[in-house]
Amino acid sequence: MRDPCTVLQSIPGFSKARVISRLSAGPTNDSYELEQGSERFVLRVDKAEAARLGLDRGAEKEVCELLASEGLGFAPLWFDTKGGIYLRRFLPGKTWTHRDLHRVENLARLARLLRRLHDLPLVGKPFEPLQAASRYAKQLGTVEAAQIFAELAHRHSQIEDVPPALCHNDLVCGNILEGRELMLIDWEYAGTGDPFFDLAVVVQHHGLGAGLARHLLGAYLGKAAGETEIRRLAAQCRFYESLLKLWCLRTGS
């Protein structure tokens, strides 16, 4: 683990910033809340796993800059893509919980935000979950991992190709922030892909039942979902279920 105070010495204008707390300690990075004067910031420092898991910080930077230009996030203040150091302004607010995603009014708000995201220009790079899963399985090198990947690959084959959109691709509740307005954070897996994958993460990861899934889908589409859309979401949910199994096995989470 790299010392954040040492890292700050390499960022112009932030050598005297004070580390208030560690916000998170994930498999790919550590994040810290900073204070400088009357302002607060977030510093993210990569671990070696970020590279091993195939994260592309250059593509993430491109996405973050577009989001800032569209009012969907703050522009990076410092982004060392090779060194794995990212500094941005602190976004005050409360991250959502599973319970928040089981409220129909919140699902409608999230659906509207996703429509804005998915209508943005295509930047970054293609999100290739099957390719990432293959990497995880090979790194694990176990029979269990191979079996999960085989299941995952089969489920992926049942998903039809659709025009890509810019997607978040990691829409777990902890990446949804309730502040002055609803915002998404942590864009390290963002890229172009199937927008229904974003919807599937919301549904499958948080155990939304059929009724809530249809409500989210209808709010996203702006009309009652048809059988084609329902099948498409169900296929992505099955795929994400297998992907999550492999991810948890790979990261030990």
Distance CA 96, CA 109 (A): 13
Distance CA 210, CA 201 (A): 14
- pLDDT tens sequence across 97-111: 999 999 999 999 999
- Overall average pLDDT of the 230-235 stretch: 97
Say which DSSP state 196 is in.
Answer: H
pLDDT at 1: 74
- pLDDT tens sequence across 182-225: 999 999 999 999 999 999 999 999 999 999 999 999 999 999 99
Measured between alpha carbons, how far apart are the two ends of the chain, in Å?
A: 18
Query: What's the pTM value of the predicted model, to 2 decimals?
Result: 0.94
pLDDT at 252 over 90: no
- CA angle 62–68–74, rounded 5-degree value: 105
Length of the chain: 253
- pLDDT tens sequence across 68-124: 999 998 889 999 999 999 999 998 899 999 999 999 999 999 999 999 999 999 999
Q: Where are the alpha helices (DSSP H) in the chain?
A: 4-8, 48-52, 57-69, 104-118, 129-140, 143-157, 195-205, 210-221, 227-251
- State the pLDDT confidence band at 233, using cuts at 50, 70 and 90: very high
Residue pair 41/8 in contact by the 8 Å Cβ criterion = no
